[in-house]
Structures are given as C-alpha cells and as structure tokens.
C-alpha cells in the first residue's frame, strides 16, 4: 500500500521545474480574449504527448482533453483559463511580458501550466483513477461575454458529473487553500450613464446646464446607496470607474459619460440596486434640467459552490496540507468569474490557491495590478489539488493500491 498523497507530491516535484518553465513561457507571451492561439496550441501539444485525446477549437479557441479510464462511468472535469489582461506589466521579473500592453496579471498563466502539470501527474497515477477526467482549457475569462458560454455550447459539459476550478489568490500564503460553500463570487454587472446637459463657456456657467456638476452629484449620491439603503451585512459594491467629459479647460461640455460596476451575491439585491441607481439619476437630472441615458449590462452570474463538491474539495485539501492551511469557510468575494456558467449546469466547486509568500500575504499587489506576480511554489499545490480531486483521495483516506 502506498500513500496516494505522497505519490501525487512525488510526481508534482519531478515535473515542477518543467511546469514552471511552461508557466514562464506563457507569461512572456500573453494573449488576450479569444486570441489565445499559441497558448491553446501549447496546451493541446502537452496533452497529445501524454496520449490524452485532444479536441481543439472548442468554444472558438478552447482545448479539451479526455483521459478515458476503462470501466469508469463517472467523469470529473478540471478547468483552467488561458487569457491575459490588456495592461502593461510592471513586475520587472526576468520572465516579464514581451508584448506591450498585455500581461498575465491575474494568474491564468499559472492556471494553464498547473493543469498541464496535473495531466502529467494523473497519467503517472492512472492506475488509481476510477473516473474519466476531462481537462478544459478555456479562452476569454476576462472579457464579456466570457469563453465559458461557447465551451458549453460546444458540449464541453456533456457527460460531466462534477467540475472544479482553481484560482491563485494573493491574500493567502503559498501552501494554503480557500473554500466557500454556496455563493462564492459575485454577479459582475456594469453600467454606463450619459448625462446630456448644455455646454458653454467656463466663465459663464449660468448659461449652461453643467453635466460635470450633475455627474459629480450622482457619483457622490451613489455612495449612500450601499451605506444607507442596504443591510450592512449584505455584501455589495457599486464602483464608478470611468468619468469622461470635456476637451478644454475653459469649456463646459454638453455631456459626460460615467461607467462602473455593480457586484452582488443575491439577485433581489442586484435588482434593487439597479432600480435605485436609475431613480437617483432621474431625480438629479430632473432637478438640474438635464437629460440622461442609462445602460445596464448583465455580467457573469454568481459563482455558486455546490455543497457536495465543496465538501469533497475541502477533504481533498485536508489530505494534501495541514488543517491550518485550509481556510474554510473562506469569505465570499465580490470579484466575478465565468466559471459561474459551469456551476449553473453541473455540480461544481471553485476554490482559491494561496499564491503569496507568508510575509507578503495581504500586502503584495492584488490581481489586475500591473505589479502582480505569484510565488511559483504555489504551482506544486495547484497541481496536487487538481490531481487529488481527480483521484478522489478525499474518500480513500490516505491509502490506495499502488
């Protein structure tokens, strides 16, 4: 009898340096949206070399690998996203992006590399597998409408009984996992408001209907929406992230455009916030004699972790690391994830992988920061978690036939 967790880690350690090299290769050559051709080709080639059946072009540029186990009637899916962000990297790392205006500032390079690593581990541990395994490499998680919808339309969930996803998380130290049952990540909606006033000379504001002043009142009033109209114990955020208007220091513009995001975990609250925002805008515009347009765009749904899958992921984590390294329940977060579309269809769990050095946890740059990077030692634990979920070590104790 062999300890299966030790066997997983032995395989992870043998492949670690090569998987880090793959991560750095992807990091140096970031691709955004659905234009992840080189990254997808790398993933497809890695699976093909392992003798895993590969389907390319799923959902546009996604890659799917199927490891079939004779006699297995269950299929477990493991998902990684491949796309980068359209921002300029500022890490100064020796493997930093070679492409101006593009960077892997959210860790998807790590996600792709560690799923390739997990495929290697599972090939070595194939004798212990009792389920078929589907490896999903998805494009365009960062950009609406997201790549998951196309993957699902191309039948990536056909025959799948459970699906799991892992995201590096810089507020948790390397070697730890964060899991949350139920609503884990938020619905990520967006809004755009155009305020239509009357422009004129900056020295004669009484002849204008100043949209900058009106917009400023609206932005200020929005702050009271969360703090005074919503239960303080109810997670929600409304953030204005863009305010555009004007072309000259001495001209009051005829219009301004304001954009931002709304994050919620409950559908009734989301509907309430949307209604209140437009009510506020209508009142402010009317008071100043202006017009407006209000556009509200539905974002990714809430990422919901099913109880059974979350329990399995937690038990798997407890087989792989010490109990103090398993944060359960991790608080819900208001970031959005298109993994949510998978969790609407099949039982699912999305979890966080600690990616900060212990002294940097909660202090280093967060995801989407141009300075964001990970402690690459986290890759070992991400590979092990993917493999442990596929091997279902949670229900075997620590022993298996080897």
Q: Are residues 114 and 197 in the same domain?
A: no
pLDDT of amino acid 396: 61
Show which of 242, 267, 300 is a domain's final residue: 300
For residues 104 and 215, membership in a common domain is answered with no
What CA–CA distance (Å, rounded) separates 363 from 331? 18
CA distance 138 to 274: 31
Q: Are residues 44 and 122 in the same domain?
A: yes
- State how far the alpha carbon of 331 is from the alpha carbons of 184, 186, 328, 335, in Å: 8, 12, 8, 12
Residue 92, both tokens: 């100064």
User: Looking at the structure, do residues 238 and 366 belong to the same domain, yes or no?
Assistant: no
Distances (CA, A) of 326 to 172, 190, 306, 334: 10, 33, 18, 21
Q: Which of 253, 284, 300 finishes a domain?
A: 300
The predicted structure's pLDDT at residue 400: 35
In order, the DSSP letters of 300-358 are: E--EEE-HHHHHHHHHHHHHHS-GGGEETTPPPB----TTHHHHTTS-EEEEEEEEE-G
Longest dimension (CA), the chain: 86
Q: Which domain holds residue 228?
A: 187-300
Same domain, 144 and 51: yes
3-state secondary structure of 291: strand
**40 lies in the same domain as 141:** yes
With 0-12 CB in 10 A as exposed, 13-18 as middle and 19+ as buried, what is 99?
middle
CATH number at residue 144: 3.40.630.10
- 298, 219 contact by CB (below 8 A): no
User: What is d(CA 182, CA 137) in angstroms, rounded to the nearest whole number?
Assistant: 24
Catalytic residue among 31, 81, 141, 373: 141
Residues of the chain with pLDDT under 50: 1-2, 397-402
Q: How many domains does the chain have?
A: 2
Q: Are residues 126 and 40 in the same domain?
A: yes
Same domain membership, residue 54 and residue 40: yes
Question: How confident is the model at residue 379, as a pLDDT?
Answer: 98
Residue 401 annotated in active site: no
Residues 289, 238 within the same domain: yes
How far is Cα 256 from Cα 245, in angstroms, rounded to an integer?
A: 4
Task: Tell me how far apart the alpha carbons of residues 364 and 287 are, in angstroms, rounded to a whole number.
Answer: 45
pLDDT score at 363: 77
Q: Are residues 198 and 270 in the same domain?
A: yes
Give the model's pLDDT for residue 398. 41
Q: Tell me, what's the pLDDT at 65?
A: 98
φ, ψ at 316 (rounded to 5°): -65, -45
DSSP structural state of residue 50: T
d(CA 235, CA 382): 28
The answer to whether residues 220 and 283 belong to one domain is yes
Predicted pLDDT of residue 395: 73
Residue 40 CA: distances (Å) to CA of 62, 78, 274, 392: 7, 16, 38, 27
Of 104, 144, 114, the closest CA to residue 337 belongs to 144
Retrieve residue 70's tokens.
């004779």
Q: Tokens representing 341?
A: 């579309």
Q: Are strands 162-173 and 348-356 parallel, antiparallel or unpaired?
A: parallel
Q: At which of 276, 300, 324 does a domain end?
A: 300
- Clarify whether residues 240 and 177 are in a common domain: no
CATH number at residue 198: 3.30.70.360
pLDDT at residue number 394: 80
* Res 83: pLDDT: 98
Catalytic pick among 31, 81, 83, 337: 83
pLDDT digits (tens, 9 = 90+) for 259-283: 999 999 999 999 999 999 999 999 9
How far apart (Å, rounded) are the C-alpha atoms in residues 87 and 101?
Answer: 5
User: Smallest Cα–Cα separation from 352: which of 381, 377, 376?
Assistant: 381
Catalytic annotation present for 83? yes
C-alpha to C-alpha distance for 400 and 140, rounded to whole angstroms: 38
């Amino acid at each position: 009898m062999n300890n299966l967790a030790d066997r997983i880690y032995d395989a992870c350690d043998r492949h670690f340096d090569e998987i880090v090299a793959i991560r750095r290769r992807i990091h140096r050559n970031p691709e955004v949206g659905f234009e992840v051709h080189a990254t997808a080709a790398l993933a497809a080639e890695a699976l093909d070399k392992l003798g895993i059946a590969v389907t390319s072009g799923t959902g546009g540029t996604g890659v799917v690998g199927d490891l079939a186990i004779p006699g297995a009637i269950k299929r477990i899916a493991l998902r990684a996203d491949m796309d980068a962000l359209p921002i300029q990297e500022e890490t100064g790392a020796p493997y930093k992006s070679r492409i101006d205006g593009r960077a892997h500032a959210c860790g998807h390079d790590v996600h792709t590399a560690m799923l390739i690593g997990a495929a290697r581990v599972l090939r070595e541990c194939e004798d212990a597998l009792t389920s078929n395994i589907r490896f999903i490499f998805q494009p365009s998680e960062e950009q609406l409408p997201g790549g998951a919808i196309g993957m699902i339309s191309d039948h990536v969930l056909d025959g799948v009984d459970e699906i799991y996803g892992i995201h590096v998380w810089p507020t948790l130290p390397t070697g730890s996992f964060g899991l949350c049952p139920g609503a884990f990540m938020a619905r990520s909606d967006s809004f755009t408001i155009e305020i239509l006033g009357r422009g004129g000379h900056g020295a004669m504001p009484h002849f204008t209907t100043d949209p900058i002043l009106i917009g400023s009142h609206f932005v200020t009033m929005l702050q009271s929406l969360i703090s005074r109209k919503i239960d303080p114990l109810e997670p929600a955020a409304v953030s204005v992230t863009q305010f555009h208007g004007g072309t000259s220091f001495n001209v009051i513009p005829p219009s301004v455009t304001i954009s931002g995001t709304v994050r919620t975990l409950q559908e009734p609250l989301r509907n309430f916030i949307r209604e209140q925002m437009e009510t506020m805008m209508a009142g402010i515009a009317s008071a100043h004699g202006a017009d407006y347009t209000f556009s509200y765009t539905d974002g990714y749904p809430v990422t919901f972790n099913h109880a059974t899958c979350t329990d399995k992921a937690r038990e798997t984590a407890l087989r792989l690391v010490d109990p103090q390294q398993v944060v359960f329940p991790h608080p819900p977060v208001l970031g959005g994830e298109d993994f949510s579309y998978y969790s609407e269809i099949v039982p699912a769990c999305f979890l966080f992988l600690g990616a900060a050095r212990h002294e940097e946890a909660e202090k280093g740059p967060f995801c989407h920061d141009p300075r964001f990077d990970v402690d690459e030692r986290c890759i070992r634990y991400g590979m092990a978690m993917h493999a442990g979920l596929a091997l279902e070590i949670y229900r075997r104790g620590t022993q298996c036939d080897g």
